Amino acid sequence: MNDPARQPVVRIEKLTRSFEQGGVTIEVLRGVDLVIRPGEIVGLLGPSGSGKSTMLQALGLLEGGFGGRIEIAGIDASRLGKNERAAVRRDHIGFVYQFHHLLPDFSAIENVVLPQLITGKPRAECEERAKELLSALGLAQRLEHRPSKLSGGEQQRVAVARALANRPRLVLADEPTGNLDEATADKVFAQFLQLVRGEGSAALVATHNERLATAMDRVVRLHDGVLA
Ligand SMILES: Nc1ncnc2c1ncn2[C@@H]1O[C@H](COP(=O)(O)OP(=O)(O)OP(=O)(O)O)[C@@H](O)[C@H]1O
Ligand SMILES: [Mg+2]
């Protein structure tokens, strides 16, 4: 079975990460193993400070300093240089953070178009895709709004559309609704899951919300630097 579509989207082996602070070394990740299959939505739970964000950062290939092995879509990322890592990120990974990180001077639709333009796709196609995603999230009437003219829930939904714009095989979400009130969080989270499922992307979603965790395919828990 060498079909790339059936290969794990994520394979982490013995992932370690420690931080030096004031002469003290804190071992945050002490040998994390995890496999995520295509289309699988996995909740990442663990108390505050257990290393959830650290783990997502490692998977996002944003910085070095990690030990062990990370494979994304069958590519051994541990061996790649900075530019190659950026290419894997662009082609295979979408991010949603707790705070939307949208570009304030661009409209909702432009925020979803921009990451697509980087791939070299014609603008008309990028706009079509952006409209499709924003409409699916109930934002068809908000395309030209700047982030500051959107509610918190709407901003997060634009961030979800942006993350999915390039059809990533893997979505990494760090408390994607952690900044919203409970009712809005539930609604946005349900839309997020529905869209990710519809797109067939896999996802790793960090949250300390046990209620949201029940909606995912599977939950893993970070404790003492390893996954239980
Ligand atoms: N750049 C850094 N330098 C030093 N220590 C760090 C750094 N980043 C994270 N840490 C430490 O690593 C540990 C894990 O942090 P992390 O942000 O991954 O936790 P988390 O599980 O995401 O927590 P939360 O649920 O509060 O978001 C914390 O003890 C934190 O102080
Ligand atoms: Mg965190």
Structure confidence at residue 6 (pLDDT):
75
Tokens for 223, please give them: 């404790």
Does the beta carbon of 221 sit less than 6 angstroms from any atom of ligand 1?
no
Q: Out of 21, 28, 56, give the residue to mutate to test ligand 1, the one with the largest number of ligand atoms within 8 Å of its CB.
A: 28
Written as six digits, the tokens of 2 are 């060498």
Residue 58 pLDDT: 94
Burial of 170 (0-12, 13-18, 19+ CB in 10 A): buried
Residue type, 191: Q
Q: Is pLDDT of 122 > 90?
A: yes
- Write down the pLDDT at residue 4: 64
- The Cα–Cα gap between 31 and 227 comes to 8
Measured CA to CA, the distance from residue 182 to residue 179 in angstroms comes to 9
pLDDT per position as a tens digit, 35-94: 999 999 999 999 999 999 999 999 999 888 899 999 999 999 988 999 999 999 999 999
Fold of 4-227: Rossmann fold (3.40.50)
Compute the mean pLDDT over every residue in the chain, rounded to the nearest whole number.
93
Span 169-180, average pLDDT: 93
Q: What is the pTM of this model?
A: 0.94
Nearest CA to ligand 1 atom 26: 48
Buried b (16+ CB within 10 A) or exposed e, 52-63: bbbbbbbbbbee
Nearest Cα residue to atom 28 of ligand 1: 49
